[in-house]
Structures are given as C-alpha cells and as structure tokens.
Copies of this chain bind each other. A is one copy, B any other.
Amino acid sequence: MKRVLLTIEYDGSGFYGWQRQQGMRTVQEEIEKAIEKITDRPCEVQASGRTDAGVHALGQTAHFDLPCPVPISKLAGVLNSLLPLDIVIKKAEIVPDDFHARFSIKSKTYLYKINTSEKKNAFISRYTSQVTYPLDYQKMRAAAKIFLGEHDFKGYCASSAVTSDYHRTIYDIKISQKKNELDIEVEGSGFLYNMVRIIVGTLVDIGRGKLTVESAKKALEGGDRAYAGVTMPPNGLYLKCTKY
C-alpha cells in the first residue's frame, strides 16, 4: 500500500462540486471511479477541501491509498486517459503514510477572476464573474490589508458554516489587473464556507464605493455578516494551489 497525492485541475462548471452526492456528477466520484478501474477495489479520495458547484481548480490536491503496484510515473497519464476531459491529473506522487491532504495542509491559495468589461461575452461567463461598475483599485488594495493576519472570520462566512473555531490566518492578498481582467488572489491557513467569495465581494463593494472600509472592519471585529459585502458567485473562483 502506498499513499498517493494527486494535484488536480478541473473545470467546475460541469460538476455539482467536489464532494460525492447521490445522482450528481461530482469531481470526487469521477476520480474515484477512474482509480477503481485501475485497482478493481473501492477507493476513497480525500481532498484538501470541498469546492462548491461551479468552482474551478487549477491545483486541488487529494490523497488516496493505492493497494496495488502501479508505477507512480505512469499513474497520472493512465488516470487522465480514464477521466473525462474536464478533469486533469497534473501530478501524482508518493507521500508518507501519515500524510493527509486536508490535515497536513500549511496554506491554500484561491484566485478570483473578475471580468471588468462592460460587454457581455458568451464564452467567459463560466470562468469569470462580470463587474461593470467602475472600481477603485487603490482603495481595494488598501482595504485588503485589514484581512491580513489571524482573525475571527465569523462575519465572513455563510451562516450555514458549521465550525467551533472561526479563527483563520490570511497570509497574503494580491490584486492584479490586466486589460479587462481583475485577479484577486487570497492565501490563507484555511477558509470557512464562502469566506473567499465574501472577502472578494467586500473588496468589490469597497472598490465601487458601496461599502466603507470601516464597515468591513466592523464585520471582522464584531463577527456580524451584515457589515461585510456581497457573496460573489462561484464561477469566478479557482482553488489555485495548496502548500504542505
């Protein structure tokens, strides 16, 4: 038995998210089915975390235990030939037996893509979220600083988030812009449910002058979701990479 870590890219627009759900097309099920074709045994793949319906991944990571001797250098290629076109195994590597894709994690980076063009484009709506209001990028960059470091993020998660500890650490937020694309990258120790989408929504609301930095701070300090910005839609969100 060898524990294997997969690095996975997927177009989330054709899936009901990562997690296996009866009767739904999910990334987890597609990958487990592909592995089971090789091993002929039931397999459970553990991801660094779930992604919602419509959310993409450039570098999701997930581990599983390989019960039979498959050369690790061939594994990604074989899996890719068995997987549908919208899932790609970018890397497969052996990790120690006590490694865990979720619990061994040091940081995770999400990327949120915003299309700032005023024109509708039929081909990018699955992959970016359109914001047609003028945005003040300087204000957004300044506001991003309030999130850095360790905070209680109770005001920045969906009310349905179930956890006993709302503390998370944000290591970095990068805002970069090229033509009509605004990219917001958030690296943190971990994220609560909808946390990235609400942080990005708060930055957008500040950038368009709908929300003040003071209100965003209040949501952070008082834990009251009502003072934070909107939850951005899932289609602009990418799990970019994980660090162990």
Contacts and interface: CB of A to CB of B under 8 A. Distances in A.
Interface of A: 9-11, 56, 80, 85-88, 119-123, 125-127, 130
Contact of A9 (B56, B87, B122, B130): B122
- Of A9, A80, A123, the most chain B CB neighbours within 10 A belong to A123
A119 B76 CA distance: 12
Contacts of A11: 122-123, 125-126
B10 A120 contact: no
A234 to B, nearest CB: 13
A55 B86 CA distance: 17
Nearest to A121: B88
A86 to B, nearest CB: 5
Given A9-B122, A56-B122, A88-B119, 5 more contacts: A9-B123, A10-B122, A11-B122, A85-B130, A123-B127
Number of copies: 2
> Which A-B residue pairs are the 10 nearest by beta carbons?
A85-B125, A88-B120, A11-B122, A9-B122, A88-B122, A86-B122, A11-B123, A10-B122, A80-B120, A86-B125
Nearest to A85: B125
Nearest to A12: B122
Contacts of A56: 122-123
Contacts of A86: 122-123, 125-126
A112 to B, nearest CB: 16
Nearest to A9: B122
A171 to B, nearest CB: 27
A84 to B, nearest CB: 8
A197 to B, nearest CB: 17
A122 B80 CA distance: 10
A121 B9 CA distance: 8
Contacts of A130: 85
A93 B80 CA distance: 47
A126 B124 CA distance: 12
Contacts of A10: 122
- Of A120, A121, A126, A130, the most chain B CB neighbours within 10 A belong to A120
Nearest to A83: B120
A87 B125 CA distance: 10
- Of A56, A125, A127, the most chain B CB neighbours within 10 A belong to A125
A88 B125 CA distance: 11
